[in-house]
Amino acid sequence: MTDYLPDRLLWFVLASTGLIVLPHAWHVPLPLFGFFLLPLGWRCVGIGRPDCLPGKWLLFALTVAGLALLFSQQRGVFGRDAGTGLFVVSLGLKLLEIRGRRDVYVIVFLSFIVAATQFLYEESILMAGYIALVCVLGLATLITLNSRTPRTGAALWSAGRLIAQAVPAALVLFVLFPRLEAPRWSWLQDTDRARSGLSNKLEPGAIAELSLSGDLVFRVKFAGELPPAHLRYWRGPIYAFTDGVVWQQLPYAGRGETDPAFDTTRIYDYTLLMEPQNQHWVYALDLPYRYPPELRRNGLYQLLADNNPGERAEYRLVSVPNYRTGDLDDSGRRENLQLPGKPAPRIQALVERLRDGDADPERFITRLLGYFREQNFRYTLTPPTMPVKPIEAFLFDQRAGFCSHYATAFVYVLRAAGIPARVVGGYQGGQFNSVGGFLEVRQADAHAWAEVWLAERGWVRFDPTAAIAPERIERGVDIDLQVASGAVNFRTSNFDPTALSWLQRGAQLWSNVDYQWQRWVINYDNASQREFLSALGIQDWLTLAYWLFASLAGIGGLLAWRLLKPLRRRRDPVADLYRRFVARLVKAGLMAKPGYGPSELADQLRRLRPDLAEPAGRIAETFNRLYFEETGEDVDLSDLKRLIDALR
Amino acid sequence: MSLKLSERFRLSRFIRGEAPSGDAIELNHRRIFIIPNRRGLLFVGLIGVLLLIGYVYGNNLCYLLGFLLAGVFFVTILHTYLALAGLVVRAGRQAPVFAGQPAAYAFTLEPGRRPRPNLELSLRSRLTVELPAEQSRTVTLFETAALRGRRQPGTLTVSSSYPLGIFRAWSPLRFDSPLLVYPKPAEPGAPFPEQAGGDGRAGYRARGGDEFNGLRAYQLGDTLRQIDWKTYAKGQGVHSKQYGGNTAAELWLDLQAASGHHLEERLSLLCRWVVDAEHAGLRYGLVLPNLRLAPDRGTQHYRRCLEALAVFGV
């Protein structure tokens, strides 16, 4: 079956499929993408020269080649990458075989599926907008196919209108359509791509790399007041074991520790929206006090999520800045005093000098921080490399580094002095988005600090970086400048909305839109749906179904009223009145059939009922004036009505 | 004209349409029916696939795309309805035909304010038209007329699947606009009746100025009977005999004079005679058991005779 398909339609088809597949250039292996481009280009040439399109056998050979390519690239057809590849390749092959209207439908429907697979790779608001625009093109293709003399602009306009009118129903369905948790079928999962973030090990330089990344880690919206900058420590991994170079997190550390005693006079209640990561850590404000049941807090007061960390997740948390942790048992003391052998003589000498015959840990810490401050230490993101004995090299030779250098050296010296201490990794600070009222924490906010166990207070946070670069803590880093130049830059002032340039305000506005998009669209899952629905008073399936149908019917009714209005306006009161008049005459047997003009009618009446001749003439005259000359007034209309009603 | 409840649910409304109307019909919610076609079902399948992808990967944007297309599906119902709604269709003046010839039924379409991008009309034949807004158009649909008599056009189905082709809206319309089908004329060459039947008069005789008036050169339209064979035999060319007055021969065509096995065959022969007589420029009269048309000639008389033959006994 070969239908005639105009060239314009073929261009529509090629443009919409090309644009739908285009963003896949970043996800699909290059050979597969090339295999899509080949038929696309071939088909474009084929519009002008249909004789160069492939025949049946060549097409078959191409199909076999495509399948072979697919298997060599993906080893299968299941899973996100392989499935996407399959659809892209078959879409390309189908382009070479457009013979009838049916094929156009197959291509358009296939391209909608390819559009959906884009969302498996990127869920940004921009991608959604892009796909919506390309969907307009797809529908315009179908409209062109279903019109006799298609006009490009008119088809695009109608398609856009269709989509716009579909939006309300789509939103209602989106909110109310039951979300079910899908089983995690392993054959559908792809291996997680490498994501940046804190790791299990702390090596010099690791955080410096993060500091050059502006990637978002999480966003926090506080229910009450915002914690001051010096309290914004987001707790991550605890590095307690060291070989002198690398610091590591112990999987079994902190078993013996007890629940801290929280001073709940000051609490922070907040919602944490985590971006996908490759660890199970949830970066709670120090220390997490209340947390949802799907999280657990280990003995290191770290929050861990059991579910797939590769997905965006939202948690409602409560943290308390003032707390007292319990005693340290022997194994805990040993873990947090661990050193790789005897400290170097230079370090021992430093410890002796700082101790100054005084065994009190707090005074020792004060003197150590004073040492950092007074001995010409400086804060830099690009210190010289210290591959051997990094602690010694940092403390005595280079005296330049960033948070992880300070934290590890600090803990090392304390342990050498017999004070239990450990390195804590996480994020510090965050940029306040004044539009959305939330904190954005980025990879560049990655930080390392120390915790020291003191007999009366339990674990206490000390940040040696603050001693050398207090601006790092008080003001936070200027991430954009830091990422751009590779050097650390602190924000010139604390948050001050009037100091923001329009560019920054625009950026904040945009990141607020993105935040709401992530929270309400991307992250709207089973749990948040249940929460939202119960807020509406929808508890069971029956009520949900009722709401779903009622709101869809409401939208449909409104839309129908809107669309059908121009039809109703065609009704003309004058014509209606006249029709009523004629129907009455027919009923009375004065006329054979409807469809007479007013003057003919008047003539007929004059003949059959001379007594009615006068009013009939006036009816005809009034009607003609109202209907044909369109000069009539409302007075005439009521006149006509009176005349007709008077007629018996 | 409102319908009773039982009429509203009569299945035949969906296929054959309502009782024939003599007036123009405006397509409205009562007459327009909509159903998703095969492509519409495929579209529903597509929505299902999108929702499935959304479900398996827990991807809200896939869901959203699926819901958006579901919204498009719902909206398209309205738009497909609008493709037909408000269209006014009236039957035109139908030209009579002989049985066995294609009958042309004319209909006038008034699109109203809305352009009609893709209207499909089907009677027995199909036709696809596009109407710009406010521009009426008359279309003709052909149907082979098999039997003589007054034939109603049958059910005219106006349909459209604009805009997306996933729904079909259709409206079956029946019009009281008969088309006259004359009997099928018998094979040409059948001789006129020499001998009249019925009242015993000669089928072919002179009347009025019936004496021979002379000869003139043969003209197209003169019958064989008028040819003066004698002059022709003498080799003086073909001449027609002219009779007195301004009338030529007068012919009575009687059903009883027509031979045939059954009525249709005889009517068919009679029809042939009428056609030939008119073409020959003769004055002819028609005699049927219930009707007698005095001899005359001209289009009006010709039509009257053929109409009488068409409706005889039906």
Taking only the tens place, the pLDDT of each residue in A448-457 is: 999 999 988 8
Q: Which residues contact A59 (CB under 8 A, 6 or more apart)?
A: A93, A96, A97
Spatial CA neighbour of A490 closest among A424, A402, A423: A402
Q: How far is A445 from chain B (nearest CA, A)?
A: 29
Question: What amino acid is encoded at B210 in this protein?
Answer: D
Q: Which residues contact B238 (CB under 8 A, 6 or more apart)?
A: B217, B218, B227, B232
Spatial CA neighbour of A401 closest among A464, A445, A452: A464
Q: Which range has the worst mean pLDDT, A61-75, A373-387, A545-559, A571-585? A: A571-585
Mean pLDDT to the nearest integer, B17-31: 85
On the question of pLDDT at B204 being above 50, the answer is: no
| Binary contact (A552, B56; C-beta < 8 A) | no
| Binary contact (B70, A170; C-beta < 8 A) | yes
Average pLDDT, chain B: 83
Mean pLDDT to the nearest integer, B208-216: 53
Residue A154 sits at the vertex; the CA angle it makes with A149 and A156, to the nearest 5 degrees, is: 115
Annotated catalytic residue, options A403, A405, A445, A514: A403
| Cα A459 from Cα A451, distance rounded (Å) | 6
Question: What amino acid is encoded at A323 in this protein?
Answer: Y
The strand pair at B97-98 and B179-182 is best described as parallel
Query: Which pLDDT score is estimated for B201?
Result: 40
- Any idea of the CA torsion for B224, B227, B228, B230, to the nearest 10 degrees? -50
What percentage of chain B has pLDDT greater than the value 90?
36
| Cα A383 from Cα B121, distance rounded (Å) | 82
Query: Which pLDDT score is estimated for A256?
Result: 55
Residue B205: band (very low, low, confident or very high) from pLDDT cuts 50, 70, 90: very low
Paired strand residues for A323? A262
Query: Which pLDDT score is estimated for A318?
Result: 92
Give the closest of A167, A182, A311 to B71, CB-based: A167
The 8-class DSSP code of residue B235 comes to T
What percentage of chain B has pLDDT greater than the value 70?
85
Residue A366 CA, chain-centre distance (Å), reads 45
Residues of B in contact with A583 (CB under 8 A): none
Mean pLDDT to the nearest integer, A488-509: 65
Q: How far is A313 from chain B (nearest CA, A)?
A: 12
Query: Which pLDDT score is estimated for B309?
Result: 92
| Cα A240 from Cα A254, distance rounded (Å) | 10
Q: Which residues contact A393 (CB under 8 A, 6 or more apart)?
A: A386
Residue A604: band (very low, low, confident or very high) from pLDDT cuts 50, 70, 90: confident
Give the closest of A142, A158, A179 to B165, CB-based: A142
Query: Which pLDDT score is estimated for B308?
Result: 92
| Cα B231 from Cα B212, distance rounded (Å) | 15
| Cα B52 from Cα B59, distance rounded (Å) | 10
Contact A138, A15 (CB under 8 A): no
Residues of B in contact with A120 (CB under 8 A): 53, 57, 59, 62
Counting Cα atoms < 13 Å in the Cβ hemisphere of B249 gives 23
The three-state secondary structure class of A215 is coil
Q: Which residues contact B90 (CB under 8 A, 6 or more apart)?
A: B23, B24, B25, B107, B108, B110, B175
Q: Best interface-test mutation with B: which of A174, A523, A529, A565 has the largest number of B CBs within 10 A?
A: A174
Q: Which range has the worst mean pLDDT, A131-140, A237-246, A248-257, A383-392? A: A248-257
| Cα A634 from Cα B3, distance rounded (Å) | 33
Query: Which pLDDT score is estimated for B106?
Result: 92
On the question of pLDDT at A584 being above 60, the answer is: yes
Residue B151's CB is within 10 A of a number of other CB atoms, namely: 21
Average pLDDT, chain A: 82
Most confident of A398-402, A431-435, B122-126: B122-126
Mean pLDDT to the nearest integer, A383-402: 84
| Cα B165 from Cα A147, distance rounded (Å) | 10
From A594, which residue of chain B is nearest by alpha-carbon distance? B23
| Cα A531 from Cα A321, distance rounded (Å) | 29
Query: Which pLDDT score is estimated for A329?
Result: 82
Contact A539, A532 (CB under 8 A): no
Residue A106: band (very low, low, confident or very high) from pLDDT cuts 50, 70, 90: very high
- What pLDDT, in 10s, does the model give residues A593-603? 555 667 777 77
Residue B247: band (very low, low, confident or very high) from pLDDT cuts 50, 70, 90: very low
What percentage of chain A has pLDDT greater than the value 90?
22
On the question of pLDDT at A580 being above 80, the answer is: no
How far CA B307 is from CA of B94, B271, B310, in Å, comes to 14, 10, 5
Strand order in the sheet with A421-428: A284-285, A233-239, A421-428, A446-454, A458-462
Alpha helices, DSSP H only, in A119-151? 125-145
* Six token digits for residue A509: 């506005």
Question: What amino acid is encoded at A338 in this protein?
Answer: Q
Respond yes or no on whether the N-terminal peptide bond of residue B163 is cis (omega within 30° of 0): yes
**Number of Cβ pairs closer than 8 Å across A and B?**
161
Residue A382: band (very low, low, confident or very high) from pLDDT cuts 50, 70, 90: confident
| Cα A210 from Cα A233, distance rounded (Å) | 17
Mean pLDDT to the nearest integer, A482-506: 63
| Binary contact (B75, A593; C-beta < 8 A) | no
- What pLDDT, in 10s, does the model give residues A58-105? 888 988 888 888 888 766 667 788 888 888 989 999 998 888 889 999
Query: Which pLDDT score is estimated for A514?
Result: 82
From A150, which residue of chain B is nearest by alpha-carbon distance? B117
Question: What amino acid is encoded at B184 in this protein?
Answer: K
Whether A147 contacts chain B with CB within 8 A: yes
Query: Which pLDDT score is estimated for B41?
Result: 96
Spatial CA neighbour of A283 closest among A440, A459, A496, A432: A440
Query: Which pLDDT score is estimated for B2?
Result: 59
Q: Which range has the worst mean pLDDT, A372-376, A481-485, B255-259? A: A481-485
How many residues are listed for chain B in this entry?
314
Residues of B in contact with A141 (CB under 8 A): none
On the question of pLDDT at A479 being above 50, the answer is: yes
Contact B123, B16 (CB under 8 A): no
| Binary contact (A521, B68; C-beta < 8 A) | no
Mean pLDDT to the nearest integer, A245-270: 79
Query: Which pLDDT score is estimated for B98?
Result: 92
Annotated catalytic residue, options A27, A81, A447, A514: A447
Mean pLDDT to the nearest integer, A379-387: 79
Q: How far is B2 from chain A (nearest CA, A)?
A: 13
Mean pLDDT to the nearest integer, A184-193: 51
Query: Which pLDDT score is estimated for B209?
Result: 43
Q: How far is B55 from chain A (nearest CA, A)?
A: 6
Counting Cα atoms < 13 Å in the Cβ hemisphere of A576 gives 9
On the question of pLDDT at A191 being above 60, the answer is: no
| Cα A128 from Cα A118, distance rounded (Å) | 9
Whether A165 contacts chain B with CB within 8 A: yes
**pTM, two decimal places:** 0.70
Mean pLDDT to the nearest integer, A246-264: 75
Give the closest of A80, A139, A563 to B164, CB-based: A139
Respond yes or no on whether the N-terminal peptide bond of residue A287 is cis (omega within 30° of 0): yes
The 8-class DSSP code of residue B221 comes to T
Residue A109 sits at the vertex; the CA angle it makes with B80 and B57, to the nearest 5 degrees, is: 120
- What pLDDT, in 10s, does the model give residues B74-102? 999 999 999 999 899 999 888 899 998 88
